[in-house]
Homo-oligomer: A and B are copies of this chain.
């Protein structure tokens, strides 16, 4: 029996199920969680959704988002716990023993290549663009009718996790699934209005700040910017507002490596790296105790901002020559 069929059988034997996704949930975490919950409820099951962090404003168009609660003493562990989009159990952000009972069966459904197979049943598919792509398959196997709300939730997961079908993870299957979701009523306009066309002015201010402070080196192959604590405060931006801004640097003609330095505290600098074609920024991040992938990585440097910048740039400049 394949893992997905075992998961289906396990679900069919259960009547109370808890679905958990990761802390600071994104569109794929929430879309997958809500779609699966709606599907299992259709089959008459009692579903609880728990997440450590609240649903960001931008996703509050998803059906039943308000039913996602943080764990508390009254949330007893279910016999069946399904973890979505979590590469490790830690990603939920809770001490695991608080939410998983000693007799709970743990199902782990994810698309991250770094997944540690922490569940009793593990369905990890790194070729999937999003966990939502896997939930689409699972719901099909469970004979759930994919209605408008489920389709919109799954579309949200896939669209946001692929940068609107632009990232390398997008496949022919991704588009095939999305075609079906649109046929089943996925409200693409709702996602566009609430996610893509709903950018906080604080994020715009941060983008403005970054563009005003772009630096180039190594024949313009490296483009970088640094955000001081003061700049966060004065733009009204939060660390979450930095999400995606590094792409503006990477997307400039001729740039191979993009770097954003964020001063989180004195002597604590978070560094994000992206590369376009060939530079291995995973190797760079590893030299500073971080990691990731050849095209996207990060690390934290415990030095003051100027020192961190010069230490990191020295290594990156070597990597692009």
Contacts of A170 in B (CB 8 A): 188
How close is A150's CB to chain B, nearest CB, in angstroms? 16
Query: What is the oligomeric copy number?
Result: 2
Residues on A lying within 8 angstroms of B by beta carbon are 159, 163-166, 168, 170-176, 178-180, 182-183, 188-189, 192-193, 196-201, 204, 207-208, 211-212, 214, 248, 250-253, 276-277
The 4 closest A-B pairs by CB, nearest first: A175-B179, A172-B182, A208-B211, A176-B179
Check A193 against B277 for contact (C-beta < 8 Å).
yes
- Interchain CA distance A215-B182 in the complex, whole Å: 37
SS class, residues of chain A in contact with chain B: helix
A163 to B170, CA, bound (A): 15
In the bound complex, residues from chain B placing their C-beta under 8 Å from that of A199 are: 251-253
Residues of chain B within 8 A of A159, CB atoms compared: 165
Contact (Cβ within 8 A) B179 A173: yes
Question: Could you say which of B180, B200, B208, B250 contacts A253, with CB atoms under 8 Å apart?
Answer: B200
Which B residues touch A250, using CB under 8 A?
197
Q: Quote the shortest CB–CB distance from A118 to chain B (angstroms).
A: 32
Is A252 touching B166 in the complex (CB atoms < 8 A)? no
Are A171 and B166 neighbours in the complex by a CB distance under 8 Å?
Answer: no
Contact A196 to B252, CB < 8 A, known contacts A175-B175, A211-B204: no
A164-B164, A164-B165, A193-B276 known, 12 other contacts, Cβ within 8 Å: A172-B182, A173-B179, A174-B179, A175-B175, A175-B179, A176-B176, A193-B277, A196-B251, A199-B251, A207-B211, A208-B212, A211-B211
Residue on B with the closest CB to A247? B197
Q: Closest chain B residue to A249 by CB distance?
A: B204
A251: B residues at CB distance < 8 A: 196-199
In chain B, what residue has the closest Cβ to A277? B193
For A198, list chain B residues within 8 Å (CB).
251, 253
- Minimum CB–CB distance for A195 against chain B, Å: 10
Given contacts A204-B252, A253-B200, A276-B197, contact A189 B168 (CB under 8 A): yes
Closest to A191 in B: B166
Inter-chain CA distance A204–B223, complex, in Å, is: 13
- Between A and B, 18 residue pairs with Cβ closer than 8 Å are A159-B165, A164-B164, A164-B165, A165-B165, A166-B192, A166-B196, A170-B188, A171-B182, A173-B179, A175-B175, A175-B182, A176-B179, A198-B251, A198-B253, A199-B253, A204-B211, A208-B208, A208-B212
